């Protein structure tokens, strides 16, 4: 969205916030992480931002852990969430070289091979690690004439929607959720190769198509749309298995889930995705977005 299309009241009201975020983006990481520590303390100890939701999700996901272990993960989660916040603010001010030092990718040769075969791809991503930084995968690939894109749900607040679009537009093309099919069809007709990322771990709406799989020890509804689109276009499907190496340093291993989604049994790709995501979460539980109402659909709703 162009800044000029924002309502005048929002442009005026959010101008100080925009200036603050710009100034923060210019700070070195050592200062930003000090800011993150302060934010984590306020969010967790003072405001208690969604503490009940986080605690319930952790207790239900890790019944084998002691109360002490769960509280440790809980505290680390708020630290990680605050790190994600300042890292996202920093993104537009980072050079490609700086980004490549902090966000690495393994097996990008797979993407280049599929592009060389004339194939567009779908990527399963999740709210794990820093899901904004993984848009920088284009910097690691040899294929530069393809479109690197991600699907997003427009925010109701137009100022924040515009802000996140600018951040995500540094490396990626943004596709509104309601326009995905039309955009993929258009690119195919034009002979444009693309790789499109879907954040597919959100809780689906009750009226949406869903796939129910075992995830973190309980039946869990996943969005079916990612798999359905991949099957419709007979596209290869990849998974970005992201791990935290150190504070502010991530590595994402690119894994092939299917060469042709249309050949997979219905629901199988979503099941594979859930298995990989669970493995990532169990390795570094604090790096997942536990404040999200992931299990909003209870067992009764899943029937």
pLDDT, tens digit, for every residue of 147-165?
A: 999 999 888 888 889 999 9
The answer on pLDDT for 252 being more than 60 is yes
* Mean pLDDT to the nearest integer, 98-121: 97
Q: Give pLDDT, residue 2.
A: 46
* Mean pLDDT to the nearest integer, 216-223: 93
Q: Give pLDDT, residue 39.
A: 98
Exposure b/e, 106-122, CB count within 10 A at least 16 = b: eebebbeebbeeebbbb
* Mean pLDDT to the nearest integer, 206-224: 88
Confidence of residue 5 (pLDDT cuts 50, 70, 90): confident
Helices 15-25, 67-90: axis angle to 10 degrees equals 100
Query: Which of 59-73, 244-258, 284-298 has the least mean pLDDT?
Result: 284-298
* Mean pLDDT to the nearest integer, 186-214: 90
Phi and psi at residue 265, in whole multiples of 5°?
-60, 140
Q: Give pLDDT, residue 13.
A: 84
| Comparison of pLDDT for 141 and 2, the residue scoring more | 141
Query: Which of 54-68, 72-86, 201-215 has the least mean pLDDT?
Result: 201-215
Phi and psi at residue 208, in whole multiples of 5°?
-80, 155
The answer on pLDDT for 194 being more than 90 is yes
* 36/302 Cα distance (integer angstroms): 38
Give the residue extent of every domain in the chain: 3-302
> pLDDT tens digit string along 12-57?
888 888 899 999 999 999 999 999 999 999 999 999 999 999 999 9
Q: Give pLDDT, residue 3.
A: 47
* 258/230 Cα distance (integer angstroms): 10
* Mean pLDDT to the nearest integer, 242-247: 91
Is the C-alpha dihedral spanning 204, 210, 215, 217 positive or negative? positive
Q: Give pLDDT, residue 1.
A: 44
| Comparison of pLDDT for 24 and 202, the residue scoring more | 24
Q: Give pLDDT, residue 207.
A: 58
């Amino acid at each position: 969205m162009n800044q000029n299309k924002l309502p005048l009241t929002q442009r005026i009201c959010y101008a100080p916030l925009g200036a603050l975020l710009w100034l923060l983006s210019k700070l070195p990481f050592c200062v930003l992480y000090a800011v993150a520590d302060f934010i984590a303390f306020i969010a967790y100890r003072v405001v208690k931002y969604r503490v009940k939701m986080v605690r319930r999700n952790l207790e239900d996901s890790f019944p084998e852990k002691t109360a002490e272990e769960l509280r440790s993960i809980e505290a680390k989660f708020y630290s990680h969430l605050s790190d994600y916040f300042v890292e996202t603010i920093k993104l537009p001010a980072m050079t490609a070289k700086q980004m490549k030092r902090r966000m690495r990718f393994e097996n990008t040769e797979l993407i280049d091979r599929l592009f060389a075969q004339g194939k567009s791809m779908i990527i399963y991503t999740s709210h794990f690690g820093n899901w904004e930084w993984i848009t920088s995968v284009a910097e690691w690939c040899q294929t530069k004439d393809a479109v690197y894109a991600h699907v997003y749900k427009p925010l109701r607040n137009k100022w924040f929607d515009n802000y996140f679009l600018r951040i995500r537009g540094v490396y990626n093309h943004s596709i509104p959720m309601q326009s995905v099919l039309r955009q993929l069809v258009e690119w195919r007709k034009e002979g444009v190769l693309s790789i499109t990322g879907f954040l597919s771990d959100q809780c689906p709406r009750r009226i949406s198509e869903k796939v129910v799989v075992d995830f973190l020890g309980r039946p869990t509804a996943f969005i079916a749309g990612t798999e359905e689109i991949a099957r419709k276009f007979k596209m290869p499907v990849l998974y970005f298995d992201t791990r935290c190496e150190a504070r502010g340093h991530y590595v994402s291993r690119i894994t092939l889930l299917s060469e042709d989604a249309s050949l997979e049994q219905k629901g199988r790709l979503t099941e594979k995705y859930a298995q990989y995501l669970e493995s990532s979460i169990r390795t570094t539980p604090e790096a997942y977005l536990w404040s999200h109402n992931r299990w909003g659909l209870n067992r009764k709703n899943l029937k």
